[in-house]
Structure 1
Amino acid sequence: MTATTLTDIFYIARRQTRSIELARQGVSTILAVLVICSVNWAILEAAFTSG
């Protein structure tokens, strides 16, 4: 997952639960089980040209 996906999840969780603490707990759980992928110009270019 990318970092931007994680921020989206936090935003949605906070809106749905109306609790910053629950949103943080959710993000913490995700960070414990998933790897955050780096995304930079070279990776985006490779994805764009991969077809």
Structure 2
Amino acid sequence: AIRRNLASRVNTMTGLTVKEVNIDVTGLYFAEEPKDKPVERPEPRVA
């Protein structure tokens, strides 16, 4: 659903056709759960 919504929004705002959406979820946090130590995020592949 996230990929489809993102592609639709980009198309609506820019008129461009989205061929691919790459999303990397590194973690989910909820208010009722205590947070552990921060997640180490890898360096992005694209500058």
Q: TM-score, normalised by structure 2?
A: 0.41
Structure whose CA Rg is larger: 2
Q: TM-score, normalised by structure 1?
A: 0.38
